[in-house]
Amino acid sequence: MSSVAGRDAMKRAIGFLRRDISGDDREVDEKAINDLAAAQGYRVDTVLTVGPDVPHPFGRILVAVSRIDADAVITPSPAHVADFTRALLVVADLITVTPQQTLRRGVRHSTETERP
């Protein structure tokens, strides 16, 4: 977390989910993102929800992360960010609800869902 004068003490995050993965559980997934964020001391500023028709969802995440200086992106599972996990970890921590884990930015991680 960067220290900026006037910035509140709570860590900031954005939620991210893909409609094609969440399906009918979208509201359940959004609640799980917000609940985990609160339990870990994060304030979720927005939950970005994209469909399979969005060509570059990572670009939207980058804009949101930079706009609010987010510390983390919280997602229901690694599958929601499988196409860009490495790139995401350059700009923010990745927190997943299931399995519940935190991957820290700037640290090389081996993830099962990441595609070459």
Judge whether 80 and 26 are in contact, CB under 8 Å: no
Q: Is CATH 3.40.50.1390 the right assignment for the domain spanning 11-103?
A: yes
Judge whether 87 and 27 are in contact, CB under 8 Å: no
- The residue behind tokens 């960067």 is 2
Assign residue 83 a region (left: φ > 0; alpha: ψ between -120 and 50; beta: otherwise): alpha
- Domain ranges within the chain, ordered by starting residue: 11-103
Tens-digit pLDDT string for the chain (116 aa) = 444 444 557 899 999 999 999 999 999 999 999 999 999 999 999 999 999 999 999 999 999 999 999 999 999 999 999 999 999 999 999 999 999 999 999 887 765 444 44
Euclidean distance between CA atoms 43 and 94, whole angstroms: 14
Euclidean distance between CA atoms 60 and 3, whole angstroms: 24
